[in-house]
């Protein structure tokens, strides 16, 4: 039971940054924008969160700094793709390179420095229940916030008029513009929301998952979050299940490696990315499922006078 409890706890911690980043990107893509810069925003958020926590000694300052860093990092992407109508794929890739390089440069002095950890919640009575208490009621606030965000985004997209407008813009931005909806403003808001959640995902890495700063500590999680959105066919609840599936694969690879099985460590390290590729191939074969939820205007620049 102790081993099972440890496995479940590590799966939850490994899945949370994937879930946060993927939920933010889902809203961005539902609005018709493809942002491949999630990895860069996560790296910037992780560095900013660690720096703020290190200097202030307050992990909540780190959480706020991580979210703000993600939003600041994504602003150039929003301006270039929405105001100047540049290619979203190329601009997103540039954002990833910028985020990784800038975080490595600014965070060089923080390598090896002590960090602060987000406090874990303690619910009187519930947190003390054997097995269930530590697994369910003893996490930090970002774990519970990730679940709340999934529910909130699902309600917003499919239960509100504003969510309907956002989805309509993602399906056909020209028709939405003809009806008088502010396509550019809505997409700016969606992009900033996605940047904030990517920054929070990075903050979780440097304040909770491993409360320290090392260069490239995102380790490809931003790319997995991007794949999760497609894997979930742009549905929030499926993103939740996919994040925990990929988190479980990530952690089980580490446990197999630690157990000393005769499996090459390089293969186990690559396992999450192999599963990502296989999942995308399987999803792409079902064209009906994919086309049903794919925002038709995704990746297409919108210029009102065209």
Supply the CATH number for residue 261's domain. 1.10.3470.10
Give the per-residue pLDDT at 234: 92
| H or E segment to which residue 30 belongs | helix 2-30
Domain assignment of residue 305, yes or no = no
Cβ-contact 9, 33 below 8 angstroms: no
Residues of the domain holding 170: 2-293
**Phi, psi values for residue 295, rounded to 5°:** -65, 120
Tell me how many domains the chain contains. 1
Task: Establish if 299 belongs to a structural domain.
Answer: no
Tell me which long-range contacts 152-161 makes (C-beta under 8 A, separation of at least 24): 153/23, 153/26, 153/27, 153/236, 154/236, 154/237, 157/27, 157/30, 157/236
Q: Tokens 């993103």 appear where?
A: 239
pLDDT for 1 equals 58
Q: How far apart are the first and last CA of the chain?
A: 63
If DSSP codes are grouped into helix, strand and coil, which group holds residue 140?
A: strand
302 lies in some domain: no
Instruction: Return left, alpha or beta for 75; rule: phi > 0 is left, psi -120 to 50 is alpha, else beta.
Output: alpha
Are 266 and 214 in contact by the 8 Å Cβ rule? The answer is no
- Dist. CA 224–CA 233, nearest whole Å: 14
Write down the pLDDT at residue 168: 96
Q: Which residues pair with 140 in a beta bridge?
A: 120
pTM listed for this prediction: 0.92
The answer to whether the CB of 166 falls within 8 A of the CB of 27 is yes
Let me know if residue 301 belongs to a domain. no
Quick check: is 300 in a domain?
A: no
| C-alpha dihedral, 146 to 151 to 156 to 160, nearest 10° | -160
Instruction: Give the DSSP letter of residue 121.
Output: P
Neighbours of 291 (CB within 10 A): 10
- CA gyration radius for the chain? 19
Residue ranges, the chain, pLDDT below 50: none
Provide the pLDDT for residue 229: 93
Task: For residue 21, tell me if it sits in a domain.
Answer: yes
> In degrees, to the nearest 5, what angle opens at C-alpha 38 toward C-alphas 35 and 242?
100
298: in domain: no
SS3 141: helix
CA 119 to CA 173: how far, in whole Å? Answer: 43
pLDDT value of residue 205: 95
* Domain-embedded: residue 60: yes
């Amino acid at each position: 039971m102790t081993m099972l409890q440890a496995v479940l706890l590590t799966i939850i911690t490994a899945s949370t940054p994937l879930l946060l980043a993927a939920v933010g990107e889902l809203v961005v893509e539902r609005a018709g924008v493809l942002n491949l810069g999630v990895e860069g925003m996560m790296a910037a958020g992780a560095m900013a969160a660690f720096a703020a926590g290190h200097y202030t000694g307050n992990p909540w300052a780190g959480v706020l700094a991580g979210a703000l860093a993600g939003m600041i990092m994504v602003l150039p992407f929003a301006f270039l793709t929405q105001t100047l109508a540049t290619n979203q794929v190329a601009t997103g890739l540039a954002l990833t390179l910028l985020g990784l390089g800038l975080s490595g440069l600014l965070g060089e002095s923080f390598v090896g420095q002590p960090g602060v950890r987000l406090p874990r919640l303690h619910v009187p009575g519930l947190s003390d229940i054997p097995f269930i208490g530590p697994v369910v009621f003893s996490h930090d606030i970002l774990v519970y916030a990730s679940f709340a965000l999934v529910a909130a985004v699902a309600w917003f997209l499919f239960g509100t008029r504003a969510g309907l407008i956002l989805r309509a813009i993602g399906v056909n931005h020209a028709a939405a513009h003809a009806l008088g909806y502010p396509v550019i403003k809505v997409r700016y808001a969606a992009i900033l929301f996605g940047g904030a959640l990517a920054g929070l995902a990075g903050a979780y890495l440097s304040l909770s998952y491993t409360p320290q700063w090392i260069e490239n500590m995102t380790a490809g999680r931003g790319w997995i979050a991007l794949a999760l959105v497609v894997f979930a066919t742009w549905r929030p609840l499926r993103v939740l299940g996919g994040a925990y599936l990929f988190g479980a694969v990530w952690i089980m690879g580490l446990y197999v490696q630690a157990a000393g099985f005769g499996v090459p460590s390089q293969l186990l390290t690559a396992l999450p990315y192999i599963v990502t590729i296989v999942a995308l191939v399987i999803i792409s074969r079902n064209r009906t499922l994919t086309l049903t939820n794919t925002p038709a205007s995704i990746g297409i620049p919108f210029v009102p006078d065209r």
